[in-house]
């Protein structure tokens, strides 16, 4: 696999959305746009009762936003537009009328943690360590914070944010509610995802939709909130501190 992609495959009333990028499954803006559109398409497809979000490759689920794009931001509007990419995907997941199950086979960094947190139920392997590295480069996980805090609580979110250079284990993520279960192998993970989603796909679709609405009660303001957060990150990425830090990664 060398070319980035977003695909949707349907099997037994389960829609499998898979994204991939050769750079550790980092997600540039064009892939985020496709991912949002694919989630919306799956949400309106009557042949799909349950959705799975997954990524290609073995040991990295998602390395977050494209670092090259972060370094290329030149003005506040461009920065806001860039950081709105993950905001739009999270909001698409939030408002999707169908349950979304996360399949996290490997490491998740930054926005990748946000994607996992925005699923309705998430399964992972023991290799799925997590890290929020944003403060270490001079910004912060502002856009994904509402989704992550909602899932793991403010204390764990604060720990991940402040200890920005540490990978926390999959078991840590499970203890704090990000992952529902952790498996020894990718094969065991895939079997668990298949069993769960095919079971759910035979439940009453109306009941599933109404239950999802209950899960996300109190988040109706996120369209505005996440846009405001994208604006904060878009301004910070232009700061002298952040620009000097980013230069070291060139």
Fold (CATH) for 5-200: 2-enoyl-CoA Hydratase; Chain A, domain 1 (3.90.226)
> What pLDDT is stored for residue 63 in this prediction?
93
pLDDT per residue as tens digits for the range 201-248: 999 999 999 999 999 999 999 999 999 999 999 999 998 888 888 777
> What pLDDT is stored for residue 250 in this prediction?
57
Grade residue 190 by pLDDT with cuts at 50, 70 and 90. very high
pLDDT per residue as tens digits for the range 191-200: 999 999 999 9
Average pLDDT rounded to a whole number, residues 69-82: 89
pLDDT: is 188 or 59 the higher one?
188
> What pLDDT is stored for residue 187 in this prediction?
97
> What pLDDT is stored for residue 55 in this prediction?
97
> What pLDDT is stored for residue 1 in this prediction?
63
pLDDT of 185 above 70: yes
Find the angle CA(56)-CA(108)-CA(21) to the nearest 5 degrees: 35
Phi, psi of 18 (to 5 degrees): -125, 135
Domains of the chain by residue range: 5-200
CA of 250: how far to CAs of 49, 67, 72, 243, 246, in Å?
44, 10, 11, 11, 7
pLDDT per residue as tens digits for the range 99-130: 999 999 999 999 999 999 999 999 999 999 99
Residues 55, 115 contacting (CB under 8 angstroms)? no
Measured N-to-C along each axis, helices 145-152 and 111-118 cross at an angle, to the nearest 10 degrees, of: 50
pLDDT per residue as tens digits for the range 8-59: 999 999 999 999 999 889 999 999 999 999 999 999 999 999 999 999 988 8
Residues 112, 168 contacting (CB under 8 angstroms)? no
pLDDT of 80 above 90: yes
> What pLDDT is stored for residue 221 in this prediction?
98
Residue 23, CB-side half-sphere exposure with 13 Å CA sphere: 10
pLDDT of 76 above 70: yes
Nearby residues of 58 by Cβ (< 8 Å), 6 or more positions away: 105, 106, 186
pLDDT: is 67 or 235 the higher one?
235
């Amino acid at each position: 696999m060398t070319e980035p992609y977003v695909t949707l495959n349907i099997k037994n009333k389960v829609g499998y959305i898979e994204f991939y990028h050769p750079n550790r499954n980092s997600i540039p803006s064009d892939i985020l746009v496709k991912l949002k559109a694919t989630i919306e398409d799956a949400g309106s497809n009557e042949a799909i009762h349950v959705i799975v979000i997954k990524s290609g490759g073995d040991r990295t689920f998602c390395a977050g936003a494209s670092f090259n794009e972060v370094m290329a931001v030149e003005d506040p509007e461009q920065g806001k537009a860039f950081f709105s990419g993950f905001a739009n995907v999270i909001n698409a997941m939030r408002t999707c009328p169908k349950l979304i199950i996360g399949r996290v086979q490997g490491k998740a960094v930054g926005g990748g943690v946000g994607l996992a947190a925005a699923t309705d139920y998430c399964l992972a392997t023991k290799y799925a360590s997590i890290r929020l590295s944003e403060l270490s480069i001079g910004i912060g996980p502002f856009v994904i914070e509402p989704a992550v805090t909602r899932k793991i609580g403010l204390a764990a979110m604060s720990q991940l944010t402040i200890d920005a250079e540490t990978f926390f284990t999959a078991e840590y993520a499970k203890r704090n509610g990000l992952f529902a279960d952790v498996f020894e192998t990718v094969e065991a993970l895939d079997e668990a995802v298949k069993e769960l989603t095919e079971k759910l796909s035979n439940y009453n679709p109306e009941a599933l939709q109404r239950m999802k609405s209950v899960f996300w009660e109190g988040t109706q303001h996120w369209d505005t909130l996440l846009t405001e957060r994208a604006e904060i990150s878009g301004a910070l990425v232009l700061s002298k501190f952040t620009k000097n830090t980013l230069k070291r990664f060139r």
